[in-house]
Structure 1
């Protein structure tokens, strides 16, 4: 298995695709449908732009990507797996110590397929959610970052479809077709997970989505990178290299919005949201409401806090924990417990449940710790501007729709509230229609190199050592 990628093929790959004629033919039949999907619901009106994109040229961590102008429909999507280790052993679950699987064991076939399809479905969904954003980009720099995220989500779909085609026969091919047929937010054929049916109508939502929801991707992919099914582990490890950029786009995007807002607050010597909105920037309380929404929708993606599926996936070696190899326990977890929250008599109480059944909650808690880190970095920007306001991650029981906390009315601080109090305060806690309309009203397209919309600061540096005012997109 080489780390370099063969770009002379119709489907670039480092998996010796040309040696498996049947698979190659099947994927070459899937390819036109994929391109049709991209044309139909990919980035709107962008087919002829030359975009300064990075393309993977190798799976070696050093020098794995090159930058050049590419038309997005010509982007070299393909199939790239991290190099394999013939000696790799399964390092958790009931098969601990056995050799990693190069093929799918019959008894785990249905579960593995479901895991791969669910992960695969999120990738095209986010492209669909972000379809119209290019029309309101705040700068060329941001437009290029959006397009980079889009083509990489497209490649992550390829990564999952390869596994389905290669290891799951006819079922896998049918699932591969279905991945191109579902549509984000469509009533009769929606995407599998709820967060991927939410609209992403504006750039504040996009940055929150790439910060919070792509971070869910990081944790899910990291858990799959531990899998006993070696091809899945190697595929997701390489996907993680690309995922890092998506989170950077979100974190730095929000950071730049905050910076600009704080600048205007200091110029006008006001924290009055009305005055700040009149000055054309996004007030901090509105950003807090968007944060509350995106965080709560994303933590639902980890699934129910108690799940027999999670136990099964772990014990059978399909999906590990985040950083499984760095944990100091027996990696089988039988007889261990973990605390989960539940509502009892109008109060939140903790109780111990078998850890194997609480693995979704373990992953969610790891995710929450990681999310808080970036929010603290945003607070540093506000602090530096001398403004006494802090963004906070809401309580994990706030606005939940999945698991034991679903539908419970809880304030962002974690207090169980009555229906009446929720209805009275929800407009302070979650984005209102007015908030969304206001943010939407700021979204006008800025495409002159080096120019930025009024509501966001320029980045500190450009992409790939280019200047900030570089021509990142050439409009054909």
Structure 2
């Protein structure tokens, strides 16, 4: 069904009430989720009434409504896109067979691993962002942060439903563990490295939502192709919500650039110290933040060559981005793809079986999409008459995973020695001084229509509301 039933304790469109055992199990998990939210969710937000978007349907024409909701009372639920009884597997060894409604035994462990890894990223980002509300640059931005937080919580529910419904006791234990790991915890960290990094300030938040949530878009798109139909239907609806997260990142950085450009033009200077003294973030710092978040995010796609990626594809568990638009045989046996490797300290291209290079295929799709957005940021600078341009660094820059891990590479693609890396690292990646400077700007501004001095207001408000609307009512 496309309409979501909000009369139930757990809102859903999966007829949860017809499976009492599953319903009881999820209602048993629900208090643990609320306890996790209270413990490591958005700090100090319990009594705020926030102008939030809530899913009311999975119909793309009118799937959400807006209204003030207490954060803790947000109705997290389980929403799947409508099913198609005739849907077929359209890639891999099972191509042409009917899509699966239940987990085939031979793919059980791999599917569980995929769902757990995706599920683990959702609460991690809430934990990474929990302090940001204390330094919001405006009420508008505070509301956007909270919208992302509740939707990441919703995406956790999406994965937990699949674990409970399809994986028995193992799934229930994995669902509990999703609330026990914590971002950055020494003893029990989140599964993926990027989700254990700090998000110390709002520039980092905007870069995270631009780049790392974009990784989410590509991973979810690949899972939306899955032969396991409940996973495909779940992730398709998650993508509807994910789009806003990337918008917050892209528009946030655009607004930072707009303010920086205005200050540079007022002062008639590109001197970083003078721009900083005027309370704006200099372009060098923005570029270094970009370099860091981009390089950390492209590591999320995994090793350049991966037998797991080949298995996931051939067995129908995870497709490519926009699989249906590709004009090949969708089985890829005998096809090749170019990856980079390091030979005698230099980068070389190497042809490898495409099935083993599917992480790299997805990474390259992500890179293309990311570059397009960075070009839109450059339009802000161009329009303001600022000659500097932001760039994404070379894909081998600052890599920690795969064949490129540990190679010393400049952002413009030169292999450098240890001496040059040490000398230039502070030009390429954020320094403690950069973080301290950006932190010094992070004073909380929450009067309606007011904005911190380092960021420009948005072009328009949310859901056709004015920019100075009371998006957050403080209890």
TM-score, normalised via structure 2 length: 1.00
- The corresponding residue for 2:34 is 35
Alignment of 1:243-262 (within 5 A): 243-262=242-261
- The corresponding residue for 1:22 is 21
Deviations 1:197-244 (A, max 9, x none): 000010000000000000000000000000000000000000000000
- The corresponding residue for 1:130 is 129
- The corresponding residue for 1:418 is 417
User: In structure 2, how many angstroms separate the alpha carbons of the residues matched to 1:87 and 1:331?
Assistant: 19
User: In structure 1, how many angstroms separate the alpha carbons of the residues matched to 2:402 and 2:240?
Assistant: 31
Deviations 1:323-369 (A, max 9, x none): 00000000000000000001111211000000000000000000000
- The corresponding residue for 2:167 is 168
Deviations 1:382-433 (A, max 9, x none): 0001011000000000000000000100000110000000000000000000
User: In structure 2, how many angstroms separate the alpha carbons of the residues matched to 1:29 and 1:395?
Assistant: 47
- The corresponding residue for 1:274 is 273
1:378 deviates by 0.3
User: In structure 2, how many angstroms separate the alpha carbons of the residues matched to 1:72 and 1:33?
Assistant: 16
Is the aligned partner of 1:221 residue 2:220? yes
Deviations 1:85-144 (A, max 9, x none): 000000000000000000000000000000000000000000000000000000000000
1:195 deviates by 0.0
- The corresponding residue for 2:61 is 62
User: In structure 1, how many angstroms separate the alpha carbons of the residues matched to 2:284 and 2:445?
Assistant: 25
- The corresponding residue for 2:101 is 102
User: In structure 2, how many angstroms separate the alpha carbons of the residues matched to 1:297 and 1:456?
Assistant: 25
- The corresponding residue for 1:45 is 44
- The corresponding residue for 1:240 is 239
* TM-align CA RMSD: 0.3
Deviations 1:136-181 (A, max 9, x none): 0000000000000000000000000000000000000000000000
User: In structure 1, how many angstroms separate the alpha carbons of the residues matched to 2:387 and 2:257?
Assistant: 13
User: In structure 2, how many angstroms separate the alpha carbons of the residues matched to 1:371 and 1:154?
Assistant: 25
Is the aligned partner of 1:83 residue 2:82? yes
Deviations 1:9-55 (A, max 9, x none): 00000000000000000000000000000000000000000000000
User: In structure 1, how many angstroms separate the alpha carbons of the residues matched to 2:404 and 2:217?
Assistant: 24
Tell me the secondary structure at the aligned position of residue 451 of structure 2: coil
Alignment of 1:274-313 (within 5 A): 274-313=273-312
TM-score, normalised via structure 1 length: 1.00
User: In structure 1, how many angstroms separate the alpha carbons of the residues matched to 2:433 and 2:261?
Assistant: 22
Alignment of 1:56-455 (within 5 A): 56-455=55-454
User: In structure 2, how many angstroms separate the alpha carbons of the residues matched to 1:168 and 1:346?
Assistant: 46
Deviations 1:289-327 (A, max 9, x none): 000000000000000000000000000000000000000
User: In structure 1, how many angstroms separate the alpha carbons of the residues matched to 2:145 and 2:61?
Assistant: 24
Tell me the secondary structure at the aligned position of residue 449 of structure 2: coil
Gaps of 5+ in 1: none
Instruction: Give aligned pairs, total.
Output: 475
Tell me the secondary structure at the aligned position of residue 341 of structure 2: strand
User: In structure 2, how many angstroms separate the alpha carbons of the residues matched to 1:181 and 1:351?
Assistant: 41
Deviations 1:225-269 (A, max 9, x none): 000000000000000000000000000000000000000000000
User: In structure 2, how many angstroms separate the alpha carbons of the residues matched to 1:343 and 1:385?
Assistant: 41
User: In structure 2, how many angstroms separate the alpha carbons of the residues matched to 1:435 and 1:267?
Assistant: 23
User: In structure 2, how many angstroms separate the alpha carbons of the residues matched to 1:32 and 1:345?
Assistant: 56
- Deviating above 3 A after TM superposition, structure 1's stretches of 4 or more consecutive aligned residues are none
User: In structure 1, how many angstroms separate the alpha carbons of the residues matched to 2:294 and 2:341?
Assistant: 19
User: In structure 1, how many angstroms separate the alpha carbons of the residues matched to 2:324 and 2:271?
Assistant: 49
User: In structure 2, how many angstroms separate the alpha carbons of the residues matched to 1:388 and 1:225?
Assistant: 41
